[in-house]
Structure 1
Amino acid sequence: IPEEVNGYKVIGITDTAFDYSLITKIKLSKNIKYIPDGAFKNASNLEYFYTEENDYFSVVDGILYNKNKDNLIFVPINYPNKDLILLDSIKQINDYALYANRGIETITFNKSLNKIGKYSFFNVYNLESIEFPSSLKIISEYAFKQNTALKTITFNEGLEEIGNNAFYGCTKIRKLTFPTTLKSIGDDAFYHCDYLSEINFNEGLISIGSRAFSNLSALTKIAFPSTLKSVGSSSFSACAYLKEVDFSNIQDIGNYAFALCSSLNKIELP
């Protein structure tokens, strides 16, 4: 990215500037101040970033960060390393940070991360296992949508919110255990996780969004915590082999919450 064009300083780029570009390496000039989240999300051949001395951005091992290196901005889609270890300083993974990444197979989260942004791991090809740190509080909407290789997720105590569509279409996940700190699970959060057969909710959960666990063809039994107050519309619809549901203090069951659960034969209500 040049310092000047026709005598004008280049101080930023738009969010579509590199859409479908075949470029493999990007060097940021010292004048660049503005890079919107997702600016490189469709640059499918991108491997590395470089930068001169810049007051707003840093590059470490080809990965783009803000200057203080507490926000991970973008890992190139075609990044050549398979293993990603987050810097100790990272507090937030920005929106679209690993969008459609092809290279990363393992990720080690640091102990100060508190937020994972929207679409940050959307459609990551090869990531099979994730363990979130206890510092993490928020997994934003669409964060891990369509991670079709993802098999194992470990949530630790500290997590408070899972956003809409966060794990939509992660078809190979088989088991989930949620921490006691988790308050809400968003709409469509685990929709179409086809092989999910075991869900362990813990005390502390208050709400489950619409279609959050819809279309789980392997699920047979659910026991809800006493803290749960509401389940949204169609939240467990089309779980064809679900046989047992146990509520304790539920106050609101949304429309069609268990529609098309054709095997359901036992329900316990307060």
Structure 2
Amino acid sequence: MEKMVTMQQDELLWKNYDNIGVLHIPKSIQIETQFESPFASYEQRPFVCAAPTKCFKVQISEIDNQSDYITLKDGILYSKDMSRLIYCWQEKEHFIIPQSVKVIEPFAFCLQKRLRDIELHNDIVSIGDAAFMGCEALEHIVIPRSVMEIESDTFDGCISLKRVELHDEITQIGRNAFRHCEALQNIILPRNLNYLNGFECCYSLHEIDIPSSVRKIDGFMFCGNLRKVILHSGVREIRDYAFRFCERLATINFPEGLETIGVRAFYPSNMVRAVFPNSLKRIGAEAFYHNERLLYIKFLSNASVGNCAFACCPIIRIKKPDDMIFGDKVFVQDTSYDKFAFWD
């Protein structure tokens, strides 16, 4: 442990120190965390990986704040006027965000492993990336009506989070926003949502109803207990890998308006039948690979179907337009192609 460290302007403390006894913040220091926190970060994840995110922060025993631009109160660093909550460096179990706070900065409560509940208010307009990453004891969160976007990684690793209350004006759930929220069984998505990519490794999630305002669907890999997905006419694309490793997914509708099903989107699943709409233009390679219960498929359009899209599926009935032609490898039964996902 470094006994005393004097903070430098724009210094990323987490890169240089694991533990600090006393952090001295000089008079001239300003802390801006719009893109990167001085106190915490995380290791970039491989593309297809179910392992928990490796996040880290510098442990601080005491802070000597002399900055003209920072307020230190109750173990938390704020901007001078307390409109920005910068970083909570003392362990908390319960916390009420002060009414003056408008912005919770990225990584503000990262790895607060004892934090069980936190009360947010309706004057907060922004919650930064990874603000609650790794808060393993957090069980319930209500997103204020003044917050319109859930940023990337916000609740990643909140393994005890059971209840999330979202309001209908939220437009975005960012990449990995609820990744590894392993206790989350259900969630009602906002009616005005237009971007969704946030639920990988939600092992307890059973059913999801995706509103018609969402055009592109992504971010449900490794939801191993997901049984049912409800889609609406607004969806245009199910993106590559969207439901990869959702092996218990038995029920999903493919509504009119859907144009694309991406590569490995449902590899594998538990579907028995699939009916594809007249609007469908393309199914990507290996989209339904190793769907070992898929017996019936029906095409209403002359869609392009990629290599191995239905490889190793026991399909016994196919209905399609008369002029629709499949490539040689679409239904191949050779399990050696990519059974163990070597190129994921």
TM-score by length of 1: 0.84
CA distance in 2, matches of 1:141, 1:61: 27
Change (3 A) 1:35 1:214: closer
CA distance in 1, matches of 2:273, 2:61: 54
- Per the alignment, residue 51 of structure 1 pairs with 65
Change (3 A) 1:266 1:72: farther
1:46 is paired with a residue of what secondary structure? strand
Contact 1:196 1:216 in 2 (8 A): yes
Change (3 A) 1:68 1:225: farther
1:29-48 equivalences in 2 (<5 Å): 29-34=26-31, 36=33, 37-41=36-40, 42=56, 45-46=59-60
CA distance in 2, matches of 1:229, 1:56: 48
Please tell me the residue identity of whatever aligns with 2:171: E
> Which of 18, 21, 24 lines up with 1:20 in the alignment?
18
1:239 is paired with a residue of what secondary structure? coil
Change (3 A) 1:127 1:223: same
CA distance in 1, matches of 2:77, 2:229: 42
- Per the alignment, residue 269 of structure 1 pairs with 276
CA distance in 2, matches of 1:182, 1:63: 33
State the structure with bigger RCO (CA 8 A, min sep 6), 1 or 2. 1
CA distance in 2, matches of 1:104, 1:83: 6
1:195-234 equivalences in 2 (<5 Å): 195-209=204-218, 212-234=219-241
Contact 1:14 1:35 in 2 (8 A): no
Structure 1 residue 196: Cα displacement: 0.7
Contact 1:245 1:268 in 2 (8 A): no
CA distance in 2, matches of 1:86, 1:48: 21
Show CA shifts across 1:171-211 (max 9, x none): 1111011011211112xx211111111212223222222xx
Quote the sequence identity (%): 23
Structure 1 residue 44: Cα displacement: 5.2
Contact 1:243 1:265 in 2 (8 A): yes
Considering only aligned residues, what root-mean-square deviation do their CA atoms show, in Å? 2.3
1:1-270 equivalences in 2 (<5 Å): 12=9, 14-16=11-13, 19-23=17-21, 26=23, 28-34=25-31, 36=33, 37-41=36-40, 42=56, 45-46=59-60, 49=63, 51-52=65-66, 54-76=67-89, 78-79=90-91, 81-186=92-197, 189-209=198-218, 212-248=219-255, 249-261=257-269, 263-270=270-277
Show CA shifts across 1:201-254 (max 9, x none): 223222222xx1112221111111222222211101221111111132222221
Gaps of 5+ in 2: 1-5, 41-55, 278-344
Please tell me the residue identity of whatever aligns with 2:149: I
Structure 1 residue 114: Cα displacement: 2.6
Change (3 A) 1:19 1:158: farther
TM-score by length of 2: 0.67
1:176 is paired with a residue of what secondary structure? coil
Contact 1:129 1:153 in 2 (8 A): yes
CA distance in 1, matches of 2:213, 2:57: 41
Change (3 A) 1:11 1:195: closer
Contact 2:111 2:133 in 1 (8 A): yes
Gaps of 5+ in 1: none
Show CA shifts across 1:86-120 (max 9, x none): 12232322111111112321011110223222222
Show CA shifts across 1:145-172 (max 9, x none): 1111212211112211111111112211
Change (3 A) 1:157 1:88: farther
2:274 is paired with a residue of what secondary structure? strand
